[in-house]
C-alpha cells in the first residue's frame, strides 16, 4: 500500500517541483520585478494597437463602475488601480524610506538632503528645457509634464541590474522618486487643479492625527492603523490631492519595529500583482497613424529632451553642487558616474507625466503628442540608463570620479 502511494505521488511531486521551483527561483531574483513590468508593458502596447483587440482592450480599463450609495470613489478600473491599489505601493516604499531615515542610509542630515536636492534639480531643469522650446507658444502650459519620475517603472528597470548597483543607489532613487512625485502632486494642486476641496483636505489631516497618536503611544496593533488609513485615503481622493500620498502618510505612522513584517507581507503582492496591473492599465495607448509626423512638435521636443536630458543633468548637477557645498553626502559605495546613470533612469515619466499632460492640454491632438513623447522619452531613458549602468563596472565607476566627501 505504501509503495503504491509513493509511486502515485512521486511523479506528481516531481511535476509540481518542475513547475514551481523555477517560478520560485525567478520571483526571488532581484531582477524579476523589472522583467515582469517590461513584459506587461510590451503585452499592453501590442494589445492596444492590434486591430482585433485594441478597442476592446483600451476600453475595458475605462469601463464605468458605479459607486455604492453616496460614496464618491474611482469610476473605472484605471482609477481603482492608480488611485487605490497604488496606495499600497506608496505605502511600501514609504516604509522603506522611513526605515532608511531612522536607521539606514538616510539617517544623517547630509545624506537625506541629497535626494531632496537631486529631486529639485530633476524637476527644475526639465521644466526649463520644455519652456525653452515652447515659450511664446500656446503649449507653454505643459512645462510640468517632464518634471515627474515614475517610481514603479524606474525602480523596475533598476532592479533588472541586480547586484550591479549598490543597495544605497536604489535607496537614493526610491527617495528621489518619492520626493519628485510629491513635488509633481504639489505642482498639480497649484497649477493644474480646478481647485482643492479644503473640507476633505481638513478631514484627511484630522483623521491622520489618529495613527500619529497611536504611533506616539507605541501601539503595534496594525488593525488600528487600517481604518483611519482608509479614511485618510477617501478624504484625499475627494480633496483634489492625489490619493496615493495617503500611502506615504500612513507609512510614516507605522512603528519602526513593525515595518519589517509589513514589508515581507506586502512585497510579493505589490511587485507581482499591483505593479503588473499598473503597467498593463497605464500603457494601453493607441499609437497615431502618423506617429513620425506627430513627433515634429515643440511639445514633443520639450518633453523628450526634458525627460531624457533634463533629468540626468538636473539630478547630477544639483547633487554635485550640494555635495561640494558640504550640505549633502553621496551614498556610501557610489560614484558620480553611477549617479548620472540613475539620473538617466529617472527620465522614465509614464503615469504622472501622462496624467499631467491630460490636465495641461484640452486638445486631444496635443494630449496625443504629449503622451507619445512621454512614451518615447521613457523608453529611451530606461534603455540607455540600463545599458549605461550595466556597462559601468565597479572599476569603471571608480575611475576618474571625484573623491566622495565624508
Per DSSP, the residues of 183-247 read: HHHHHHHHHS-S---HHHHHHHHHHHHHHHHHHHTT---THHHHHHHHHHHHHHHTTTS-TTHHH
Full-model pTM: 0.78
Half-sphere exposure of 284 (CA within 13 A, CB side): 18
CA dist., res. 129 & res. 311, Å (int): 10
- C-beta separation of 307 from 147 below 8 A: no
Q: Left (φ > 0), alpha (ψ -120 to 50) or beta: where does 392 sit?
A: beta
Q: Note down pLDDT in tens along the chain; length 406 residues.
A: 555 555 545 666 665 555 555 545 545 555 677 788 888 989 999 999 998 899 999 999 999 998 888 889 999 999 999 899 999 988 998 898 888 888 876 777 777 889 999 999 999 999 999 999 999 898 999 999 999 898 878 888 888 887 788 888 888 898 898 888 778 878 887 788 767 889 999 999 999 999 999 999 989 899 999 999 999 999 999 998 888 889 989 999 999 999 999 999 999 999 899 989 988 998 888 887 776 777 789 999 999 999 999 999 999 999 999 999 999 888 877 889 999 999 999 999 887 898 898 888 888 888 889 988 998 999 999 999 999 998 886 544 444 444 333 2
Domains of the chain: 33-195+240-398 (1.20.1530.10)
* Of 263, 221, 261, the residue nearest 91 (C-alpha): 263
Half-sphere exposure of 378 (CA within 13 A, CB side): 29
CA dist., res. 45 & res. 375, Å (int): 11
Amino acid at each position: 500500500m505504501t509503495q503504491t502511494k509513493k509511486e502515485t505521488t512521486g511523479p506528481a511531486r516531481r511535476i509540481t517541483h518542475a513547475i514551481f521551483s523555477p517560478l520560485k527561483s525567478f520571483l526571488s531574483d532581484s531582477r524579476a520585478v523589472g522583467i515582469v513590468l517590461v513584459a506587461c508593458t510590451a503585452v499592453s502596447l501590442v494589445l492596444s494597437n492590434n486591430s482585433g483587440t485594441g478597442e476592446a482592450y483600451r476600453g475595458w480599463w475605462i469601463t464605468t463602475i458605479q459607486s455604492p450609495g453616496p460614496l464618491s470613489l474611482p469610476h473605472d478600473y484605471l482609477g481603482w488601480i492608480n488611485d487605490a491599489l497604488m496606495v499600497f505601493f506608496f505605502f511600501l516604499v514609504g516604509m522603506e524610506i522611513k526605515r532608511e531615515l531612522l536607521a539606514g542610509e538616510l539617517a544623517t542630515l547630509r545624506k537625506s538632503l541629497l535626494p531632496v536636492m537631486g529631486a529639485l534639480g530633476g524637476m527644475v531643469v526639465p521644466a526649463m528645457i520644455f519652456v525653452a522650446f515652447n515659450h511664446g507658444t500656446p503649449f507653454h502650459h505643459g512645462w510640468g509634464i517632464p518634471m515627474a519620475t515614475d517610481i514603479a517603472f524606474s525602480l523596475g528597470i533598476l532592479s533588472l541590474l541586480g547586484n550591479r548597483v549598490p543597495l544605497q543607489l536604489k535607496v537614493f532613487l526610491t527617495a528621489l522618486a518619492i520626493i519628485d512625485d510629491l513635488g509633481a502632486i504639489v505642482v498639480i494642486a497649484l497649477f493644474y487643479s480646478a481647485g482643492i476641496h479644503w473640507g476633505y483636505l481638513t478631514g484627511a489631516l484630522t483623521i491622520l492625527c489618529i495613527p500619529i497618536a497611536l504611533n506616539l503611544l507605541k501601539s503595534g496593533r496594525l488593525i488600528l492603523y487600517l481604518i483611519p488609513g482608509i479614511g485618510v485615503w477617501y478624504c484625499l481622493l475627494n480633496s483634489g490631492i492625489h490619493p496615493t500620498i495617503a500611502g506615504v502618510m500612513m507609512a510614516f505612522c507605522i512603528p519602526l519595529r513593525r515595518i519589517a513584517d509589513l514589508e515581507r507581507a506586502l512585497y510579493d503582492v505589490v511587485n507581482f500583482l499591483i505593479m503588473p496591473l499598473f503597467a498593463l492599465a497605464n500603457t494601453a495607448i493607441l499609437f497615431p497613424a502618423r506617429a513620425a509626423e506627430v513627433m515634429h512638435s515643440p511639445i514633443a521636443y520639450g518633453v523628450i529632451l526634458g525627460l531624457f536630458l533634463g533629468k540626468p543633468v538636473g539630478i547630477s548637477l544639483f547633487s554635485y553642487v550640494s555635495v561640494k557645498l558640504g550640505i549633502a553626502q553621496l551614498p556610501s559605495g557610489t560614484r558620480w558616474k553611477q549617479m548620472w546613470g540613475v539620473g538617466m533612469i529617472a527620465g522614465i515619466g509614464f503615469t504622472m507625466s501622462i496624467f499631467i499632460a491630460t490636465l495641461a492640454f484640452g486638445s486631444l491632438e496635443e494630449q496625443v503628442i504629449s503622451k507619445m513623447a512621454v512614451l518615447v522619452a521613457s523608453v529611451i531613458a530606461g534603455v540607455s540608463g540600463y545599458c549605461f549602468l550595466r556597462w559601468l563596472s565597479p572599476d569603471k565607476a571608480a575611475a576618474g570620479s571625484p573623491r566622495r566627501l565624508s
